[in-house]
Amino acid sequence: MNWNLETLFENFQRIRTEIPELKLFGEKPLHSQSEDVMLEEGKEIAEKLTSTLLKYREVTGVGRGIAAPQIGLQKNVFITYVNDEVQTYINPVITKHSDETNFYRELCMSSSLMWADIERPQSITMTWTDETGKDHGETFDDFIARLLQHEYDHLKGCVCLDKAIPGTIAFVSSNPLDEKLRKG
Ligand SMILES: [Zn+2]
């Protein structure tokens, strides 16, 4: 994939027509608080999210997470797609985060054209329920901690651009998969 402006805008056009359920930065569901769900509803939402994420990946070749508000549902559910594996997080709660932070240029499916530098805690502890109803509590570091915080923010009505370090919002200009975490 060529990450120049022309391809970026072509892909954006395809996203608008081929993935109409995907909400974009500025649309109301992305800026409101979500609520907890029962397991069955959580599973159904996770399936819809997986289908949307896979369509997005077909167009852009990237996309490692998506949260319910991004398809217009104010529910506490998100999925991640890492190493060809989908993980479902129902009613997640971040219970702890480190004081230590790092930096990363984040892209969001809901702001397909733009990315920005964002500072976040290096590690977090999160509880959630998976699609089988099993409860989990785990501590995550580095990239996974960042991905989970990005998706969790969506449930709080916060899109990554809201947290951008001033002056760093820009058109995507290289492969997002080449981005690396940077120390503060
Ligand atoms: Zn996002």
The range of the structural domain enclosing residue 21 comes to: 5-167
Residue 176 included in any domain: no
140 CA distance to ligand 1 middle (Å): 18
pLDDT value for 184: 72
Q: Distance from the CA of 99 to the center of ligand 1, in angstroms?
A: 23
- Whether 184 is in a domain gets the answer no
- Give the model confidence (pLDDT) of 66-77 as tens digits: 999 999 999 999
What is the spatial order of strands in the sheet that 65-67 belongs to? 65-67, 77-82, 85-97, 123-129, 135-141
Predicted TM-score of the model (pTM): 0.96
Is residue 123 one of the residues assigned to a domain? yes
Q: How far is the CA of 135 from the centre of ligand 1 (A)?
A: 24
Residue 183 lies in a domain: no
Neighbouring C-alpha atoms within 13 Å toward the C-beta of 68: 26
Does residue 180 lie in a domain region? no
Q: Is the pLDDT of residue 1 over 80?
A: no
pLDDT, residue 3, reads: 86
**Cα–Cα dist 146/140, whole Å:** 9
Task: Give me ligand 1 centre to Cα 8, in Å.
Answer: 17
pLDDT in tens, 15-47: 999 999 999 999 999 999 999 999 999 999 999
Largest CA distance in the chain: 45
Please tell me the distance between residue 64's alpha carbon and the centre of ligand 1 in angstroms.
9
- pLDDT tens digits, residue range 108-130? 999 989 999 999 999 999 999 99
**CATH code of the domain in which 145 resides:** 3.90.45.10
Q: How many CB atoms lie within 10 A of CB 182?
A: 11
Residue 24 within any structural domain of the chain = yes
Catalytic residues: 151
Domain count within the chain:
1
